Amino acid sequence: MASSLFEKINTMVSASLHSLVDRALETNSVAVMDEYIRQAEKNLDALEDSAATVGGTVKTLKRKYEEFAAAAEKLDRDIDTLILKGKDDLAGAAQAELNAKQQLAQEYYEQYQQQEQQYQSMLDMRLKLEARLTAVRGEREHLRALIELTEAKKTTTKTIKSLDQLSNVSDREISGLAEQIRGRLDTEDARLDMATRNIRDQIDEVVRSGEIDRQLEERRRRLLGGSGGSTQAASGGSGDSGMTSSS
C-alpha cells in the first residue's frame, strides 16, 4: 500500500471534529463536511482494495511456509531412518536438502509475519476511518439545522465562528443545540480511542495465544515422541520461531 494513502488517512482520522464543525460555521455551509465525507469514502475504498491485496499475500506466504515446514519435518524424520539403516550417503544428501527447505521455510515465515503486521495495521486504520466518517455523517444534518436556525433568528450581530461562541448566544435553542453537538463530538472521540485500544489488545492476545500453542506443541513432541532417535526426529522439525537441523 502506498505510504501516501496512509498519510492521507492518518490526516483524516486525526482531524479534529470540533475544528471541522467550526470551519463549517465560519462559512455558514456544510460544504466542508461534504468534502470530508467524499474524501473519506474515496480513501476508504482505496484502503479496502489494498487490504484485500495484502490479505491475499498473507495467506499465500503462510501456505508456502506451512508447506516447506511440513516437508522439512518429514525429511528430518527420514534422515534419522537412513542413518539407522546405515545409508550415510543418502542421509547426507537428505540433510543438504533439509537445510535448504528449512531456510526457505524460515524466509517465508519472516515475510508472512511482516505482511501480517501490515495487514492488521490496515484493518485497524480502516476501523478508525469508518468511525470518523460515521461521526461526520451523523453531525452533518444537525449542523445544517443549526446553521439555518442561527441565520433565521439573527439573535446576535456578531459573527459566529465556533461552537464556543454559539454556547454564549442568549437564544436557548441555539446554544442548547450547540452543546448537544459538542457533546456528541466528544463522545465520538472517546469511542474512537476505546476502539483503537480494543483492537490492539485483541491483536496482542491472538499473538500471545498463538505463541503459547506453539510452545505447548513443541513440548508434546519432545515428551511423547519416544526416546533416542525418534525423540530427535519428533523435535527436529521446523517451528514458527526458526528451525534447527538434525546432525
Indicate if the pLDDT at residue 236 is higher than 70: no
Cα separation, 77 vs 231, in Å, equals 10
Check residue 101 and give its pLDDT. 93
For residue 94, being part of any structural domain is answered with: yes
Rg, C-alpha atoms of the chain: 29
Distance of CA 159 to the CA centre of its chain: 43
Number of H helices, E strands in the chain: 7, 0
Check residue 144 and give its pLDDT. 79
Helix, strand, coil shares of the chain, percent, nearest 5, are: 85, 0, 15
Render pLDDT for 57-109 as a digit per residue (tens, 0 to 9). Answer: 999 999 999 999 999 999 999 988 888 888 888 889 988 999 999 999 999 99
Indicate if the pLDDT at residue 182 is higher than 60: yes
Q: Are 178 and 14 in contact (CB under 8 A)?
A: no
User: At 242, phi and psi to the nearest 5?
Assistant: 135, 160
- Buried b or exposed e, range 194-226, using 16+ CB within 10 angstroms: eebeebeeebeeeeeeeeeeeeeebeebeeeee
For residue 95, being part of any structural domain is answered with: yes
Check residue 68 and give its pLDDT. 93
Enter the C-alpha cell of residue 3.
Answer: 505510504
Average pLDDT along the chain? 74
For residue 55, being part of any structural domain is answered with: yes
- Structure-model confidence comparison of residues 64 and 155, the more confident one: 64
Q: Which residues contact 127 (CB under 8 A, 6 or more apart)?
A: 195, 196, 199
For residue 241, being part of any structural domain is answered with: no
Render pLDDT for 53-71 as a digit per residue (tens, 0 to 9). Answer: 999 999 999 999 999 999 9
Cα separation, 64 vs 48, in Å, equals 24
- Structure-model confidence comparison of residues 194 and 155, the more confident one: 194
Check residue 138 and give its pLDDT. 80
Check residue 62 and give its pLDDT. 93
For residue 12, being part of any structural domain is answered with: yes
Place 203 in a pLDDT band, splitting at 50, 70 and 90. Answer: low
pLDDT average, residue stretch 151-171? 53
For residue 161, being part of any structural domain is answered with: yes
Range of the domain at 207: 3-235
SS3 category, 242 = strand
Cα separation, 210 vs 221, in Å, equals 17
Check residue 242 and give its pLDDT. 42
Indicate if the pLDDT at residue 235 is higher than 50: no
Q: Which residues contact 103 (CB under 8 A, 6 or more apart)?
A: none
In this prediction, what percent of the chain has a pLDDT beyond 90?
17
Check residue 134 and give its pLDDT. 86
Enter the C-alpha cell of residue 209.
Answer: 495465544
Render pLDDT for 16-62 as a digit per residue (tens, 0 to 9). Answer: 777 887 888 778 788 888 998 998 899 899 988 888 999 999 999 99
Place 241 in a pLDDT band, splitting at 50, 70 and 90. Answer: very low
Enter the C-alpha cell of residue 126.
Answer: 480502516
For residue 247, being part of any structural domain is answered with: no
Check residue 109 and give its pLDDT. 93
Q: Are 135 and 181 in contact (CB under 8 A)?
A: no
Into how many domains does the chain fold? 1
For residue 242, being part of any structural domain is answered with: no
The CA-CA-CA angle for residues 93, 95, 96, to 5°, reads 65
